[in-house]
Structure 1
Amino acid sequence: MLKLTDIDFNAVWQETFGWNTDDKSGRKFDDRVESDFWVKLAPRYTEEYNLNHDTPLIAQRLQQLLGSGHSILEIGCGSGNFTALMARYSKNILGLDFSPAMLAVLQQRLLAEGIGNVQTQSGKWEDFTTDAAFDYIVSVNSLYRIRDMAAALHKMNAYSRRGFIIVRTIQRPFFYRLYRDCGLDCAECPDYQLLPLLLWQQGIKADVEFLHYTKIKSFTDIDAVSQEMCYDLSKKTFLTYREPLLRRFQEQALMQDSAQQISQPRTTVIISVKKINLG
């Protein structure tokens, strides 16, 4: 009988996220494609993709876990949606990010907000080395391009004095619950399930908690709703279930100005490792 200890979860990670396939094109595998992607998105990332616009729960929980007056290494700091908030109660922060374009936006933000305890560095976590010690390491939705996740997590444990925190918003379609209500299966990214298993397999005690909230989205007309559903489900599936899907949308949506607005449930996972109390 197969035992849990017999499973190589690092191999499962690589198989699940396509690292063993022959096709290595696309953002995940190609640094140039990934860099170009962020050059285009960087100027509008803070406004359009800021988790703090959906809920304050994530930032609040981070502050509770980190406490005050500590040094932080943030992996994948991006344009600083959480960096700027953590800087208010942290001793200092080093923000590491692959994209120079995103770091340029962050630098402008730090200057505009008068934040002086944040430094930045361009690079990948896999290649990062330093002699400095950090109290905590924080990663918010930033580990999606890592192949050897076991090594990446081991490194986080080694470089942090007090512990580290990994935040993962469960990657599901916006209409995930609506699809499920209609009996449709939807793919979701299982990274939040594998990460604790990888940590536990290394003997690293990780706590896992789920933050539940709602995300609000506006649609100019029913055609915009249909387009998103087609993208999520395929045109054939959408047309088959079009009537019950759009009926449920209409039942839940409210008019706001000239658009239809609907809220859907979202879940973010907080995976935290707390080392011994150092006082």
Structure 2
Amino acid sequence: MMQNFKDIDFNSIWQETMGWNISDKSGRKFDDQVESNFWVQLAPHYTKEYDLNKDTDLIADRLSALLGTDRTILEIGCGSGNFTALMARYSRSILGLDFSPAMLAVLDERRLAEGIGNIRTQAGKWEDFTTDAVFDYIVSVNSLYRIRDMQKALLKMQAYSRCGFIIVRTIQRPFFFDLYTQNSVACAECPDYQLLPLLLWRSGIQANVEFITYPKKKHFLNLADVSQEMQADLTAQIFHEQQARLLQAFTGQAAFTDGRYTISQPRTTVIISVKK
């Protein structure tokens, strides 16, 4: 018998889809120490190598338009402050919450070096965070991947925000996702961006969903490096069967200059916003 849509528990589907029901609870998602160690290693060069604003300013511009000026903001998972520093230019104050003290140390150094006086930081998880304060807006940029009870986390955002909250999620797809799709080759993507609005709507919270697509450029020294990346994306069998066709598609789109291949592929970021 087909299940009624109204009876579907999307929070349970979130937990199952995001891997919370597996028996092996090792790795970054489940182990706080492993996660902490990961960010200790990445923190010193995160801003240089993983700043989303270097790919496009469309996301920062949309955040600015949604937030307005002179707002108090709580940013969940602020990291080294790639978006925090930008929001600070037009916000009254920002509390940056992050699990990693190493990342917050980088942000603290950055705000002191740049003379930013309206950012303060706090180490901790959103699940454990408590305060008597209410913020105008809560913002999360690519930072909710370790939350098990997502419905509770979203309702908490609703409770702690006066004007609403904004969740930015870059769709987790392989770099060559569009090339694979064009050639009818199946590959995995993370569906969290699909489940988050459903959880909000099911909770009675009106959420708006926007998609921002922009080019992401990447360089490869040779076709062996391209093959290596494709093989990591696909099963061994699919890659073996499709390798020649995919490499032909790649060379048809890539430019070869200065001894390397350069190709741009579309990347999509989803902005889920709630306005009270």
Judge same fold: TM > 0.5, yes or no: yes
Q: Distance in 2 between matches of 1:72 and 1:103?
A: 16
Q: Distance in 1 between matches of 2:109 and 2:248?
A: 45
Residue-by-residue CA offset, 1:32-64 (whole Å, 9 max, x unaligned): 111111111111111111111111110000000
User: Counterpart of 1:190?
Assistant: 191
User: Counterpart of 2:104?
Assistant: 103
**1:163-178 pair list within 5 angstroms:** 163-178=164-179
How many equivalent residue pairs? 275
Residue-by-residue CA offset, 1:122-149 (whole Å, 9 max, x unaligned): 0000000011121000000100000000
User: Counterpart of 2:59?
Assistant: 58
User: Counterpart of 1:257?
Assistant: 258
User: Counterpart of 1:14?
Assistant: 15
Q: Distance in 1 between matches of 2:272 and 2:100?
A: 25
User: Counterpart of 2:245?
Assistant: 244
Q: Distance in 1 between matches of 2:181 and 2:255?
A: 21
Q: Distance in 2 between matches of 1:53 and 1:246?
A: 28
Kindly tell me: are residues 38 and 256 of structure 1, through their superposed partners in 2, closer, same or farther at Cα, counting changes over 3 Å? Answer: farther
Q: Distance in 2 between matches of 1:258 and 1:45?
A: 28
Aligned alpha-carbon RMSD (Å): 1.0
Q: Distance in 2 between matches of 1:264 and 1:70?
A: 35
Name the SS for the 1:127 alignment partner.
Answer: coil
Question: Which segment is superposed worse, 233-242 or 75-84?
Answer: 233-242
Q: Distance in 1 between matches of 2:249 and 2:19?
A: 35
Q: Distance in 2 between matches of 1:99 and 1:144?
A: 14
**Shift of residue 98 of structure 1?**
0.4
Q: Distance in 1 between matches of 2:240 and 2:23?
A: 33
Letter of the 1:238 partner, please give it: F
Q: Distance in 1 between matches of 2:81 and 2:221?
A: 30
Name the SS for the 1:163 alignment partner.
Answer: strand
**1:37-48 pair list within 5 angstroms:** 37-48=38-49
Letter of the 1:59 partner, please give it: A
**Shift of residue 183 of structure 1?**
1.5
Residue-by-residue CA offset, 1:194-238 (whole Å, 9 max, x unaligned): 101111111111011111111011112212111111111133322
Question: Which segment is superposed worse, 72-81 or 236-245?
Answer: 236-245
Q: Distance in 2 between matches of 1:143 and 1:62?
A: 17
User: Counterpart of 2:234?
Assistant: 233
Residue-by-residue CA offset, 1:108-130 (whole Å, 9 max, x unaligned): 11112111110000000000001
Report the TM-score when normalising by structure 2: 0.97
* Structure 2, unaligned runs of 5 or more: none
Q: Residue 204 in 1 paired to residue 205 in 2?
A: yes
**Shift of residue 86 of structure 1?**
0.3
Report the TM-score when normalising by structure 1: 0.96
Q: Distance in 1 between matches of 2:189 and 2:66?
A: 27
Name the SS for the 2:127 alignment partner.
Answer: helix
Letter of the 2:149 partner, please give it: D
Name the SS for the 1:126 alignment partner.
Answer: coil
Residue-by-residue CA offset, 1:166-200 (whole Å, 9 max, x unaligned): 00111000000111122211111010111011111
Letter of the 1:155 partner, please give it: K
Q: Distance in 1 between matches of 2:118 and 2:257?
A: 41
Question: Which segment is superposed worse, 37-46 or 139-148?
Answer: 37-46
Q: Distance in 1 between matches of 2:250 and 2:38?
A: 32
* Structure 1, unaligned runs of 5 or more: none
**Shift of residue 256 of structure 1?**
4.3
Q: Distance in 2 between matches of 1:245 and 1:221?
A: 14
